[in-house]
């Protein structure tokens, strides 16, 4: 079943879209704010995001940048903003498609189906097992091993490591890592990351003071290097 996240602060329109999509076999999630959208992208892993640009807390372009910083999910912008400049700005920010309001429901559904197909064909999914020179993360089993022996992690430690492992080799921005693990509203709690990355390094890195795999990009975020 294709999963669609609708990010729309107009409750009536969001309900209408959800009813139409569910009637056609889609699994639908709803978010009325930008922060809520980023949280659901992190936890629900939708196949397609339908994004309104006029949100009450964040501009849709900010949300788009946030998604694109860490997820390759197709994003279809659905907006009343109809000037060429606004469309170009959204597409340059990483939108896959742009539909202006008012719109024909059948056309929107066709574009969502096309976006889902592109998403499935866009490339390999993250590996179920991520191996580094020092430790192995089995995402499916929820297990970590170092030198062949299991390593006991707390649920939060594993969740932090899981987010990094699912984006192995890529920078995960601090705000997104906080949102993914702790939820919306925690974007500024950067001390959480310092504490948990230090704990993970003590358990997993051969030399925790000079980490080779759990890498900090100063001022930006963190990366898991194999």
User: What's the count of helices (H) and strands (E) in the chain, helices before strands?
Assistant: 8, 12
Contact 97, 148 (CB under 8 A): no
Backbone φ and ψ for 30, nearest 5 degrees, come out as -120, 140
Contact 85, 40 (CB under 8 A): no
The partner residues of 34 in beta bridges, in order of sequence, read: none
Q: Encoding tokens for residue 132?
A: 């580094």
- Report the pLDDT averaged over residues 156-170: 89
Cα angle, residue 63 at apex, residues 2 and 142 outer, rounded to 5°: 55
Q: Are strands 135-138 and 129-131 parallel, antiparallel or unpaired?
A: antiparallel
Kindly report the pTM of this predicted structure: 0.57
Non-local (6+) Cβ contacts of 150 within 8 A are 143, 144
What pLDDT was estimated at residue 135?
A: 95
List domains and CATH numbers for the chain: 3-121 (3.40.50.2300), 129-224 (1.10.10.10)
Non-local (6+) Cβ contacts of 199 within 8 A are 157
Of 61, 117, 55, the closest CA to residue 87 belongs to 61
At 5-27, the pLDDT tens digits run 999 999 999 999 999 999 999 99
What pLDDT was estimated at residue 151?
A: 95
At 90-111, the pLDDT tens digits run 888 888 889 988 889 998 999 9
d(CA 168, CA 24): 35
Backbone φ and ψ for 146, nearest 5 degrees, come out as -130, 125
At 170-201, the pLDDT tens digits run 888 888 888 888 877 788 888 999 999 999 99
Of 19, 75, 30, 68, the closest CA to residue 49 belongs to 75
Residues, the chain: 226
Please give the share of the chain, as a percent, with pLDDT higher than 70. 95
Non-local (6+) Cβ contacts of 92 within 8 A are none
What pLDDT was estimated at residue 124?
A: 47
């Amino acid at each position: 079943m294709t999963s669609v996240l609708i990010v729309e602060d107009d409750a009536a329109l969001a309900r209408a879209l959800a009813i139409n999509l569910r009637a056609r076999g889609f699994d639908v999630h709803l978010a009325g704010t930008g922060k809520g959208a980023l949280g659901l992208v992190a936890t629900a892993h939708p196949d397609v995001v339908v994004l309104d640009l006029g949100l009450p807390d964040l501009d849709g372009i900010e949300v788009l940048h946030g998604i694109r910083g860490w997820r390759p999910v197709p994003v279809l912008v659905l907006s009343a903003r109809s000037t060429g400049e606004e469309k170009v700005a959204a597409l340059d920010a990483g939108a896959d498609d742009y539909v202006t309001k008012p719109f024909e429901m059948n056309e929107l559904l066709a574009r969502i189906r096309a976006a889902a197909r592109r998403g499935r064909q866009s490339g390999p999914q993250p590996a179920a097992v991520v191996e580094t020179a020092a430790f192995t993360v089995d995402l499916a089993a929820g297990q970590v091993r170092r030198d062949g022996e299991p390593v006991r992690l707390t649920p939060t430690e594993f969740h932090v490591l899981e987010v990094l492992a699912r984006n192995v080799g890529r920078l995960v921005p601090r705000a997104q890592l906080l949102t993914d693990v702790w939820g919306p509203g925690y974007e500024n709690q950067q001390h959480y990351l310092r504490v948990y990355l230090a704990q993970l390094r003590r358990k997993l890195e051969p030399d925790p003071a000079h980490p080779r795999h759990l890498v900090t990009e100063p001022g930006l975020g963190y990366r898991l290097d194999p």
